[in-house]
Amino acid sequence: MRNIVLTGFMGTGKTAVGKILSQKLGFVLIDTDAEIEREQKTTITDIFNRLGEAAFRDMESAVIKRLSVMKKAVLSTGGGAVLRPENMDALRKNWVIVCLAATPETILRRTCASNNRPLLQVADPLQKIRELYDFRRPYYEKADIIINTDEIGPLKVAEEIIARINEVESR
Ligand code: S3P
């Protein structure tokens, strides 16, 4: 089985699904945000506040480029990682690109309890989710496999991903 990279908007379940996938496949799990926080010794929110989004995107690209050579890995990316073509270009050859999707309402419900997503710290987060999602949709749609997570939990999503990859690889 090839490496798997999970893409998709904030709150679509990448972290939870990534954990299950890595356990089921015996693959190492890496999260780009966690990797950036470990390297920078601070939080994503602090990086956005002090250095701005562009600096964060540079860090994200550097992490993805470095990790793209890994083997037997599941990589969970931040919701904006798809925006830079260089990120997905680095992964497209050796990784199956999976995108998790959900409606803006589901995303709001899943993200509203925490304040660790700087882009959603606005007066009207639902409106912001809709705007960002509309802009990003074409980037998310470039994935090899797209799975909607509104109605199904992380275990079923992980099983569906494995089944879909097996199906593609057995052709
Ligand atoms: C972002 C998503 C976040 C994090 C940062 C920016 C985005 O990751 O990388 O706050 O631009 O959508 P999650 O998708 O894991 O929440």
Asked whether 156 and 150 are in contact (CB, 8 A), the reply is no
Mean per-residue pLDDT for 92-102? 96
Comparing 2 with 62, the larger pLDDT belongs to: 62
Atom index in ligand 1 nearest the CA of residue 111 equals 16
| Ligand 1 atom, smallest distance to 116 CA | 10
> Which residue has the least CA distance to atom 12 on ligand 1?
79
Question: CA-to-CA distance for 60 and 78, rounded, in angstroms?
Answer: 8
Distance of CA 61 to the CA centre of its chain: 13
pLDDT confidence tier of residue 86, bands split at 50, 70 and 90: very high
Contact 75, 63 (CB under 8 A): no
pTM, to two decimals: 0.97
pLDDT on residue 169: 81
CA dist 85 and 104 (Å) reads 24
The one-letter amino acid at 80: G
pLDDT at residue 150 in the model: 98
Residue 100's pLDDT is 98
Question: Among 6, 14, 33, which residue has the most ligand 1 atoms within 8 Å of its CB, making it the best to mutate?
Answer: 33
Residue nearest (by alpha carbon) to ligand 1 atom 4:
78
What is the distance in A from the centroid of ligand 1 to the CA of 118?
8
Closest residue by Cα to atom 3, ligand 1, is 78
Residue pair 76/22 in contact by the 8 Å Cβ criterion: no
Task: Assign residue 127 a region (left: φ > 0; alpha: ψ between -120 and 50; beta: otherwise).
Answer: alpha
**Closest ligand 1 atom, residue 32 Cα:** 9
Which residues are near ligand 1 (CB < 6 Å)?
Answer: 10, 14, 33, 44, 78-80, 117-119
Q: Token pair for residue 133?
A: 């999602």
**CB 100 within 8 Å of CB 10:** no
Q: What percent of the chain has pLDDT over 70?
A: 100
Please, which residues have CB within 8 angstroms of residue 93's CB and are 6 or more apart in sequence? none
Q: How far is the CA of 52 from the centre of ligand 1 (A)?
A: 13
- Residue range 65-87: average pLDDT? 97
Q: What is the mean pLDDT of residues 117-126?
A: 96
Q: Are 61 and 84 in contact (CB under 8 A)?
A: yes
